[in-house]
Chain A
Amino acid sequence: MTAPAIRIRGLVTRLGERSVHNGLDLDVQAGRLTAIAGSSGSGKTVLLQAMALLLPPAAGTIEIFGQTTAKLSRSDEHELRGRMGVMFQRGALFTGMTVLENVAFPLLEYTALPRSIIREIARIKIRLAGLAPDAATLYPSELSGGMTKRAALARSLALDPELLFLDEPTAGLDPVGATAFDKLIVHLRELLGLTVILVTHDPVSLWEIADEIVFIGEGSVLASGSAHELSRSLQPTVRHYFGGVRMQRARAQWDQE
């Protein structure tokens, strides 16, 4: 057993006065697709922000690739950020740049490569995310919801990260688009050897693509395991969540297959 990509111990986070996590422990195994689930307001996105170095913990430690995040020097932190990509829920594409410029932006910031190579890498990432080549010259306001998600994914992949954070990647997509996006994530993980951390509400994603589901609530991890294991959990909140109609349908579909 190798060391986990992320190890969290006793994490406490606060948003203003309200404490979101209260002594949360979590290990994320490298190379696996870990989904973070939980009811609305349970702090899934906040946990993702803490892991992506966007929100300093009030207490507890987060280790990423064996480095404790709170103790990093500026340059080490910069390097660590280069090893992870974040795809935000609403894309967060820079509105004043085209898709190509958006994807090329982290490459320009992090490397001293010639521009022609950077453009080529950016366009590979755009294609990898399943966008048509012509989409590269479009501005974010000219993209549909699905294209925005794909462009955001392309940008999060720009630096060939080892660790990919996805915040609700399939939210707001039509069912066909959501399934395609799920497949894309699995494909990319295999192709690029990514460790993927996924915040999602989508029952189908939880059943179909997650290797492991971490269910959080009441400020800590309530249960973790595969969807199948969690659906048999006796923990009341988890049971309630997995007993919902939509979850049952996704399960029925999964059972059929």
Chain B
Amino acid sequence: MGTQTIRRGSTSAEDEPKLRWQIAQRRVIFSGDWTLERLAGVGRQTRRAVPMVTGAWRISLAEISGLDTAGAVVVQRLCRQLRAGGASVQVEDASLEQHAILKLAASEIRALPPRARGNPLERLGRRVARGWLGVIEYLAFIGRVTLDSLPRVLRPQHLRWHEIAVELERAGVMAIPIIGLLAFLIGIVMAYQSGDILQAYGANVFLVDLLGVIILREMGPLMTAVIVAGRTGSAYTAQIATMQLTEEIDALRTMGVTPFEILVLPKMLALVIALPLLTLWADAMGLLGGMLIAHLLYGVDFDLFLQRLPIAVPSTMFWLGIVKAPVFAALIASIGCYQGFKVRHSADEVGRYTTISVVQGIFWVIVADAVFSIAFFSWLGL
């Protein structure tokens, strides 16, 4: 019990850790409570106070009421500073316990080697190389997923339908409200903006053509894919990343189950099924929003709108939009899973790779959309 009272003094003002210099007697007297919570600011005090001295100095601990490792560090630093100035130093009046603690703090601590960072040019080079390697790694990942999955895909009765159904519900069914609402609002906004211009030419009825083409061919698939990349791509990354950290993935491997087949394939298939259906839903809700505004503000009533839609917008427009959705789905699912598998060590990485997964998912969806536009328009003439 005795040690407790020695180490932890009271918190009264006179217990403030202080040091007095008796230059003539070559003595430094420590007083007060030299424990962690009382020490803030003392480091600066000692640094300022050390005079250039020589000769035999004594440090007295007789008046201190508490000493812990933090206090010992400060005492030892002072000793080192005095010795560096050419003085010899002796600590006096320390109890046995205080001696033990001082000894702990005494041994010279050599500088740690800094972690190699390399020069800026080298770092830039590494980043570029990593970027290229990333593309190759991603392709290798796709290759392995394909190889591991092929046996099951070729024999559909061996597919994990239960997992696929679970993923379908999470990625598809549960996304219906948010995608419907956002598509509806986008339809309203587009009808508002374009209706105003068309009205100036008395061409209100062409609102149907405009909305039909834009929503069915572009906005429906793209908006849906972006929302799903944010919602589901991030969930895939976070789930696989956490499983990496808890060694669940390794556990799967030891049981002879390849994680690609059990984790990636169901997600990929589920999203490839869900995204076209969600796109169809977004198309419908977007057109509904546009139709509402056309009717309320621009005098194009529901009958007229629905009558004109099939004439103005050929069904290929709709199919061109739907065809893109499975490709977007495969991109989102594969990027989401790939980024998850890259996590190795820390909780930090889970956050980092989840962000990367969403950003890259959206990026590649838009790139793919651009490629589709060029392909459909200039090569197929659609």
Interface residues of A (CB under 8 A from B): 2, 30-31, 79, 82-83, 94-96, 100, 107, 110-114, 116-117, 120-121, 123-125, 127-128, 133-134, 136-137, 139-141, 159-160, 162, 191-193
Contacts and interface: CB of A to CB of B under 8 A. Distances in A.
B69 A160 contact: yes
Most chain B beta carbons < 10 A, residue from A96, A107, A127, A136: A96
Contacts of B68: 160, 192
A134 B1 CA distance: 36
Interface string B24-50: 000000000001110111111000000
A114 B109 contact: no
Interface stretch (B100-108, B126-134, B173-181, B290-298): B100-108
B115 to A, nearest CB: 6
Given A113-B39, A113-B43, A124-B104, A141 B345 contact: yes
B347 interface: yes
A140 B105 contact: no
B324 to A, nearest CB: 39
Interface in B320-369: 344-348
Nearest to B352: A96
25 contacts: A31-B1, A31-B3, A31-B4, A107-B36, A110-B37, A111-B39, A111-B40, A113-B39, A117-B43, A117-B73, A120-B109, A121-B69, A121-B73, A123-B109, A127-B107, A137-B112, A140-B346, A141-B344, A160-B7, A160-B35, A160-B36, A191-B100, A191-B101, A192-B69, A193-B97
For the complex of A and B, the 8 pairs showing the least CB-CB separation, nearest first, are A193-B3, A95-B346, A141-B345, A112-B40, A96-B348, A160-B68, A114-B43, A2-B1
Given A2-B1, A31-B4, A193-B97, A96 B73 contact: no
Contact of A95 (B7, B35, B100, B348): B348
Nearest to B347: A95
Nearest to A5: B4
Contacts of B113: 134, 137
Nearest to A83: B8
B73 A120 contact: yes
Given A111-B39, A128-B104, 12 more contacts: A95-B345, A96-B346, A107-B36, A110-B36, A117-B43, A121-B70, A121-B73, A137-B112, A159-B36, A160-B36, A162-B8, A192-B68
Contact of A124 (B37, B43, B105): B105
A30 B4 contact: yes
B238 to A, nearest CB: 15
A137 B70 contact: no
Query: Main SS of the interface on chain B?
Result: helix
A124 B7 contact: no
A193 to B, nearest CB: 3
Contacts of A191: 100-101, 104
Interface string B56-72: 00000000000011100
A162 B346 contact: no
Contacts of A83: 8
Contacts of A116: 43
Query: Main SS of the interface on chain A?
Result: helix
A136 B115 CA distance: 11
A87 B59 CA distance: 36
A139 B371 CA distance: 43
Interface string B76-108: 010000000000000000000100110011010
Interface of B: 1, 3-4, 6-8, 35-37, 39-44, 68-70, 73-74, 77, 97, 100-101, 104-105, 107, 109-110, 112-113, 115, 344-348
Contacts, number: 99
A111 B17 CA distance: 15
A120 B76 CA distance: 11
B67 to A, nearest CB: 10
Contacts of A113: 36, 39-40, 42-43, 70
Contacts of B105: 120, 124
Nearest to B245: A95
Given A82-B37, A113-B43, A30 B345 contact: no
Contact of B69 (A31, A125, A162): A125
A112 B74 contact: no
A117 B7 contact: no
Contacts of B77: 117, 120
Nearest to B42: A113
B104 A114 contact: no
Contacts of A125: 69
B98 to A, nearest CB: 11
